[in-house]
Amino acid sequence: MNINDLYTPCLIVDKKKLLNNLRQMSDRAEKLGVMLRPHVKTNKSVPIALLSNGGAVGPITVSTLREAEYFADAGFKDIIYAVSMVPSKLDRVKDLLDREVDLKIIIDNVDVAKAIIEYGEKFHRIIKVMIEIDVDMHRAGLSPNAPEVIEIAKILDAGKGAELVGVLTHAGESYDCETEADLIKAAENEHTSIVRAAENIRGAGIKCDVVSCGSTPTATYAADLTGVTELRAGVYVFQDAFQAGRGSCSNNDIALSVLCTVISHKTNQNRIITDAGGMALSKDQSTRGTDFDCGYGIVCDLDGNILDNLIVTGANQEHGLITTKDGSDFDFDAFPIGTHLRILPNHSCMTAAAYNHYNVVDGEQEIIETWQRCNGW
């Protein structure tokens, strides 16, 4: 089957680019002397997770319990659920433990730590827990020197229903860095902060074996990860326009695209309309306000060649609005109704979430495989 035969909008993955991205991150982890734990929240697909681990059911990170269950069905056992746990979700954690999944959960709250201990003791389970560390005031987690870090560690260490296995962080501020120097600084701050948190716990006489950090930008720019045991990253598998703009990759490395069809000409408004709107592309505009602003995605021809002077300026629910960047007259004859285009996403995780499978090509237009993915929570 050729991509021209596909019903649009749909997802295209260039396997050649995907494998190159996987190889580069694997090489980075090896160079830094840490284990790579791919974050599968971006792709949510067993075939891609296997490729990310060299064909094996290796360690992974997930962002939903649905992902954990889906990958456990495929034989993945070593899983970190990297979103703050709440007691109402512990039944699903127990179900995974009963399937002999080596699941680790994360917390940043004293009361939740106590609830996990109580739950584990009630059901005679030992729940593995990591303390989430906030290294840059970005999102959830505790600062490395916060007294609650030691308090939670002591609660977990003393209880019979849980086990503290380590600390985890995500350097969210790296997504706001505008220069290479800033990215290097963010990566080093992530490194030193998470190691300090682990050392503080050990200084209190409590074991802290796993020191987990990572994001695609900091993984790309980290110079030293001494004291860190594992590196997590997710969007690197596909890359996207935002990562390219921040220097983590080039536009030519982006392996994911949305195939769409030109459905209307608006000559009086100097634009064409495609069937890939906000539902197909997502409404993410993370490149907005930057010098690499690409609207709702980078416009390419059917072969994936970037059409430099075109931009997706609007994304209604099922309509994508494309015009010229410089305001020049649109060449409507070059894009007749029915023309197929490919849009490289601003944020691959957000864009892929609308679909249930990937159509895989290998640098050409022929579909060589179809890869399923999971969705939901």
Angle at 305 between CA 248 and CA 368, to 5 degrees: 90
What's residue 139's pLDDT? 83
Residues 37 and 59: beta-carbon distance below 8 Å: yes
**290 Cβ partners below 8 Å, 6+ apart?**
178, 245
The CATH number of residue 81's host domain is: 3.20.20.10
**CA 132 to chain CA centroid, nearest Å:** 18
- The total number of structural domains in the chain stands at 2
The CATH number of residue 302's host domain is: 2.40.37.20
The encoded tokens of residue 296 equal: 């709702």
Same domain, 118 and 218: yes
Burial (Cβ within 10 Å: 0-12, 13-18, ≥19) of residue 228? buried
Same domain, 357 and 271: yes
* Domain encompassing residue 344: 3-9+249-372
Burial (Cβ within 10 Å: 0-12, 13-18, ≥19) of residue 149? buried
The encoded tokens of residue 236 equal: 């690197």
Strand-strand pairing, 306-315 and 298-300 = antiparallel
Q: Judge if the upstream peptide bond of residue 9 is cis by omega within 30 degrees of 0.
A: yes
What's residue 274's pLDDT? 98
The encoded tokens of residue 347 equal: 């944020």
Domain membership of residue 242 (yes or no) is no
Domain membership of residue 309 (yes or no) is yes
What's residue 158's pLDDT? 95
Same domain, 62 and 162: yes
Same domain, 107 and 207: yes
Q: Which amino acid is at 193?
A: S
Same domain, 115 and 198: yes
Largest Cα–Cα separation, the chain? 73
DSSP 75: T
Q: Is 102 helix (H, G, I), strand (E, B) or coil?
A: strand
Domain membership of residue 51 (yes or no) is yes
Same domain, 319 and 174: no
**CA 346 to chain CA centroid, nearest Å:** 13
pLDDT tens sequence for the chain (377 residues): 999 999 999 999 999 999 999 999 999 999 999 999 999 999 999 999 999 999 999 999 999 999 999 999 999 999 999 999 999 999 999 999 999 999 999 999 999 999 999 999 999 999 999 999 999 877 899 999 999 999 999 999 999 999 999 999 998 777 877 888 988 998 999 999 999 999 999 999 999 999 999 899 999 999 999 999 999 999 999 999 999 998 899 999 999 999 999 999 999 999 999 999 999 999 999 999 888 999 999 999 999 999 999 999 999 999 999 999 999 999 999 999 999 999 999 999 999 999 999 999 999 999 999 999 999 99
Domain membership of residue 177 (yes or no) is yes
Residues 250 and 328: beta-carbon distance below 8 Å: no
Same domain, 214 and 271: no
Residue 327 Cα distances to 232, 271, 359, 362, angstroms: 42, 10, 34, 35
The encoded tokens of residue 82 equal: 């990297």
Give the domain-ending residue among 237, 263, 281.
237
Residues 60 and 39: beta-carbon distance below 8 Å: yes
Distance CA 35, CA 59 (A): 9
What's residue 125's pLDDT? 97
Same domain, 65 and 187: yes
Same domain, 255 and 144: no
The encoded tokens of residue 371 equal: 């890869």
Q: Which amino acid is at 5?
A: D
Residues 23 and 236: beta-carbon distance below 8 Å: no
Same domain, 208 and 281: no
Domain membership of residue 244 (yes or no) is no
Question: If we measure between CA atoms, which residue out of 353, 318, 265 comes closest to residue 9?
Answer: 318
Torsion sign, CA atoms 237, 243, 244, 247 = negative
Q: How many CB atoms lie within 10 A of CB 123?
A: 14
Q: How many CB atoms lie within 10 A of CB 35?
A: 16
Same domain, 184 and 257: no
Q: How many CB atoms lie within 10 A of CB 296?
A: 30
Same domain, 212 and 256: no
Question: 50-68: buried (b, 16+ CB within 10 Å) or exposed (e) per residue?
Answer: bbbbeeebbbbbbbbbebb
The encoded tokens of residue 89 equal: 């979700």
What's residue 289's pLDDT? 87
What's residue 176's pLDDT? 78
